[in-house]
């Protein structure tokens, strides 16, 4: 059952007092999706604790149940009775992926090895997002699709004759990589995926933990290659999901830009391919410290992060950073708006294909708040100046959770409040966002 969404659609963020306290972000969305899906593909019972209880992830639970997977919940633990690599059943209804691109795209590769056909659809935002990036390589592996223009709704026809593939991906996308890896689990032979830069490697880490025949090195720069050989069953596992750095990013930036703040964010996954935002903020002059770091049983680094208010200065970030902080640009650009001086963020074309067109949403929203912003091809240039963050506007986040939370955080330092429309979307990743940031000191209210 999806928990009733308690977030109102229209929220107003007023000037905030200093933030103080300890907070734990919600569980990691990427790892939650993978923990559920890989457990469903394994043999035996897997246990997942601290699964993210948000709409996107609960839609994955529903999708797997529709495919015949038994999933139960005992207090805080999900128990997934794996169906094996080829054990999904043709469902008697379509699968609704809601707002989640990750769910739709990684499920396509996973379904592909079962001889079934399944219709996937999603909400109006997801139905606009490109699926050809996964359809194309999966078709080369023998999986068939019926779709118009590579958009949802579409039908996936699985096969028991998956062919291995060598795929040189034009983009660095963990969703594309994961979809091919999951199809590759059923291929007769070794598949090779190459991407321009390493995208988040949670799938590689978890697949190894589940016993897949996978080889990877996750290089910090340059092309990345992953090899997977089909035929090995996955074994059941116990997974404790760490906190989500992409959600922690909102409180980290809030404490950095709101004078007098001092907070600790606990239990945050700090995978190298996700923590570009921490590096960017430190380059801007933020006081962020990593404490109590350890590596968990599926090779993910986890730590507490302490954050103190600090005056920020603008930076230039090259495109090689973009896949390491792709989900954090909305909140990072808010920090840049309050910093002194110019910031240039390069190579942001992928922002146009997220839950909304974030590239233009950020620019339009910041300009309406009083900030000078320009774009040049795929780059965004922000002329940061706290004195010009006027606010006093309504930002339509286009039902995009990260855009909504970003402008609500900016409201904490703007001269006049910022109203955000479309905030129900926040429940897709951070259902308790406003109550939790208000507990630290922010002042976000329902618009009545």
CA-to-CA dists, residue 1 to 4, 60, 72, angstroms = 9, 12, 11
Residue with tokens 């390069």: 346
The 209-248 site mask, x for binding ligand S3P (CB under 6 A), equals ----------------------------------------
Q: How far is the CB of 173 from ligand S3P (least distance, A)?
A: 3
Task: Report the candidate in 441, 418, 309 with the shortest Cα–Cα distance to residue 369.
Answer: 418
* Contact residue for ligand S3P among 50, 54, 59, 175 (CB under 6 A): 175
Residue 356 is a binding residue for ligand S3P (CB under 6 A)? no
Q: Tokens in use for 428?
A: 């897709």
Residue 201 is a binding residue for ligand S3P (CB under 6 A)? no
Helical axes 329-338 vs 401-411, angle rounded to 10°: 20
Q: Which of residues 312-341 bind ligand S3P (CB under 6 A)?
A: 326-327
* Contact residue for ligand S3P among 173, 236, 261, 333 (CB under 6 A): 173
- Are 270 and 303 in contact, with CB atoms under 8 Å apart? yes
Residue number, 330 or 384, with CB nearest to ligand S3P: 330
Residue 30 is a binding residue for ligand S3P (CB under 6 A)? yes
The CA distance from 273 to 218, in Å, is 9
Candidate segments 120-128, 150-158, 171-179, 205-213, binder of ligand S3P by CB under 6 A: 171-179
Residue 174 is a binding residue for ligand S3P (CB under 6 A)? yes
Residue number, 96 or 355, with CB nearest to ligand S3P: 355
Q: How far is the CB of 350 from ligand S3P (least distance, A)?
A: 6
Residue number, 37 or 154, with CB nearest to ligand S3P: 37
Candidate segments 160-168, 172-180, 208-216, 377-385, binder of ligand S3P by CB under 6 A: 172-180
Residue 102 is a binding residue for ligand S3P (CB under 6 A)? yes
Q: How far is the CB of 56 from ligand S3P (least distance, A)?
A: 9
Burial class (CB in 10 A: 0-12, 13-18, 19+), 38: buried
Residue with tokens 């909102």: 250
Residue number, 173 or 333, with CB nearest to ligand S3P: 173
Q: Which helix (H) or strand (E) holds 362?
A: helix 358-369
Going through 37-143 in order, the beta strands assigned E by DSSP cover 42-49, 70-74, 77-83, 95-96, 117-121
Q: How far is the CB of 260 from ligand S3P (least distance, A)?
A: 32
HSE, CB side, 13 Å, CA atoms: give it for residue 341.
10
Task: Report the candidate in 298, 383, 377 with the shortest Cα–Cα distance to residue 333.
Answer: 383
Is 327 known to be catalytic?
A: yes
The CA distance from 154 to 96, in Å, is 11
Residue number, 46 or 175, with CB nearest to ligand S3P: 175
Find the catalytic residue in 201, 327, 379, 396: 327
Classify 126 as helix, strand or coil: helix
Candidate segments 75-83, 120-128, 174-182, 234-242, binder of ligand S3P by CB under 6 A: 174-182
Candidate segments 6-14, 170-178, 208-216, 366-374, binder of ligand S3P by CB under 6 A: 170-178
The CA distance from 218 to 221, in Å, is 9
Q: How far is the CB of 338 from ligand S3P (least distance, A)?
A: 24
| Cβ count within 10 A of residue 93 | 8
Q: Which helix (H) or strand (E) holds 57?
A: helix 55-66
Catalytic residues: 327
Interacting residues with ligand S3P (CB under 6 A)? 30, 102, 173-175, 178, 199, 326-327, 350
């Amino acid at each position: 059952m999806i928990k009733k969404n308690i977030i109102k659609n229209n929220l107003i963020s007023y000037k905030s007092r200093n933030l103080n306290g300890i907070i734990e972000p919600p569980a990691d969305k990427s790892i939650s999706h993978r923990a559920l899906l890989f457990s469903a593909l394994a043999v035996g019972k897997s246990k997942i604790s601290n699964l993210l209880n948000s709409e996107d992830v609960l839609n994955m639970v529903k999708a797997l149940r529709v495919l015949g997977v038994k999933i139960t919940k005992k207090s805080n633990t999900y128990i997934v009775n794996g169906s094996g690599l080829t054990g999904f059943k043709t469902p008697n209804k379509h699968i609704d992926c809601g707002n989640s691109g990750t769910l739709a795209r990684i499920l396509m590769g996973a379904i592909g090895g079962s001889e079934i056909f399944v219709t996937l659809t999603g909400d109006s935002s997801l139905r606009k997002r490109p699926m050809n990036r996964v359809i194309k390589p999966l078709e080369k592996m023998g999986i068939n699709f019926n779709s118009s223009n590579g958009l949802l709704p579409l039908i996936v026809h699985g096969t028991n004759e998956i062919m291995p593939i060598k795929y040189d991906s034009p983009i660095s996308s963990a969703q594309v990589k994961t979809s091919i890896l999951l199809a590759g689990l059923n291929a007769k032979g070794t598949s090779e995926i190459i991407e321009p830069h390493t995208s988040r490697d949670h799938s590689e880490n978890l697949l190894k933990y589940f016993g897949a025949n996978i080889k990877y090195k996750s290089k910090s720069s340059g092309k990345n290659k992953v090899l997977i050989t089909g035929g090995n069953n996955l074994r059941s596992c116990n997974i404790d999901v760490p906190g989500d750095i992409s959600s922690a990013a909102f409180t980290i930036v809030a404490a950095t830009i709101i004078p007098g703040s001092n907070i600790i964010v606990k239990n945050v996954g700090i995978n190298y391919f996700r923590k570009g935002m921490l590096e960017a903020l430190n380059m801007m002059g933020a006081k962020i410290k990593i404490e109590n770091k350890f590596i968990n049983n599926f090779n993910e680094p986890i730590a507490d992060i302490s954050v103190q208010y600090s005056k920020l200065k603008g930076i230039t970030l090259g495109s090689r950073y973009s896949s390491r902080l792709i989900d954090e640009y909305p909140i990072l650009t808010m920090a840049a708006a309050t910093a002194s001086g110019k910031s240039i963020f390069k190579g942001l074309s992928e922002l146009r294909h997220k839950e909304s067109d974030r590239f233009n949403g950020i620019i339009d929203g910041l300009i309406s708040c009083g900030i000078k912003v320009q774009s040049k091809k795929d780059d965004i240039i922000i002329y940061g100046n706290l004195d010009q963050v006027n606010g006093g506007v309504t930002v339509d986040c286009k039902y995009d959770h990260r855009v909504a939370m970003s402008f609500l955080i900016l409201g904490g330092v703007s001269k006049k409040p910022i109203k955000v429309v479309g905030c129900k979307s926040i429940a897709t990743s951070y259902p308790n966002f406003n109550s939790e940031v208000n507990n630290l000191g922010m002042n976000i209210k329902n618009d009545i």
